[in-house]
A = this chain, B = another copy of it.
């Protein structure tokens, strides 16, 4: 199996939240896979799929695009160990996946946008700046204005996670499963690109993230950071 992941100037710096989600699902399943790092402007590496978005998982002749589709493919193809945590949790996973995208991805991007830019090579920086400034309707630097206030709002938006963590060590109960990877994979994005402290150390989400860093022989903790 091959997992195509987004990387920075340094090909060991893999920062995509979606790439991390897919990678953590593969690790949960105990599958062997090769990681293929890819920059924004190296789409020729995934010319065999459509749409050309990453992550992509190649499993023999089968190619899967999109981290959630990869999770569902892995669960259907390699049932053990269970990834979603039963049929009810699996049915509700699309809602939670969207919650992660709408709450965490949207909340985080404005806190680390300039750091993502800074970990890219010159050509990819130009591409990133042009596409993101068009999307946000202002400069990358302007997006970063009021960073600390935005961080306060972001931390507040994590309340639903704290409600779960008040009762159980993981977001899926006594053991981590898909939802933990969806959320933790997303936290790997700011962790890899930025030294800006996102979470307060006394936050239950911080302590949960510490536990997640330790999984799979410390894969998250050992990940190369951009600075």
Contacts and interface: CB of A to CB of B under 8 A. Distances in A.
Nearest first, the 4 A-B pairs at minimum CB distance are A85-B88, A91-B173, A94-B163, A86-B86
A69 B182 CA distance: 27
Interface of A: 84-92, 94-99, 159-161, 163-164, 166-168, 170-174, 177, 179
B164 A92 contact: yes
Contacts of A90: 173
Nearest to A173: B91
Given A98-B160, A99-B99, A159-B98, A168 B91 contact: yes
Contacts of A170: 91
Given A86-B88, A88-B179, A95-B99, 18 more contacts: A85-B86, A86-B86, A87-B174, A88-B89, A88-B172, A89-B89, A89-B92, A90-B173, A91-B164, A91-B168, A91-B173, A92-B164, A94-B163, A94-B164, A95-B163, A98-B159, A98-B163, A99-B99
A174 B87 CA distance: 8
A94 B172 contact: no
A91 B171 contact: yes
A168 B97 CA distance: 16
